[in-house]
Amino acid sequence: MKYTDSIKNVLLVDDDTNITFLTKMALAELTDWHIEEASSGTQALNMAESTTPDLILLDAMMPMMDGRETFAKLRAIEALSATRIIFVTAKVQSAEVAQYLELGADGVITKPFDPIALVDEIDRAVAQSQSRRTT
């Protein structure tokens, strides 16, 4: 069983339309997930409350409200407190990755990513997160 088997609804949050398009195409091709898109933290907050996604792929660097602030506000919404959130970022130095995980993120995926391997990367992140939660 893959950890991603329980995922049905995904919210992509990224201000870069090229990344959003690539991510959506990869996930649509490889999964049967319903995928929504948000181009800002504010839009993500509005959409997440109404769509209650199983997984949020969150860009770390966005104008106005960055990924960390968006993450904190998403976690403050009771209905989303257990939602899987994975940061997607080009800033992946070990200290930064550790900070994202300390915030409570379920994982970090590096940009640029291999679209064909994206679902496996998500599965690996969720598996590692599950392991951290149970230890």
Return the residue matching tokens 């930064």. Answer: 96
Peptide bond into 112 cis (omega under 30): yes
Q: Pick the residue with more confidence: 94 or 27?
A: 27
- Per-residue pLDDT for 133 more than 90? no
pLDDT tens figures, 74-93: 999 999 988 999 999 987 78
Q: What is the mean pLDDT of the chain?
A: 91
Ordered strands of the 107-110 beta sheet: 34-38, 9-13, 55-59, 84-89, 107-110
What's the confidence (pLDDT) of residue 1? Answer: 54
% of the chain beyond a pLDDT of 90? 72
Residue with tokens 């995904």: 10
pTM: 0.93
Q: Where are the domains of the chain?
A: 7-129
Predicted pLDDT at 44 = 97
- Domain 7-129 classification at class level: alpha beta
Report the alpha-carbon distance of residue 101 to residue 33 in Å, rounded: 25
Q: Which pLDDT score, from 0 to 100, does residue 15 have?
A: 95
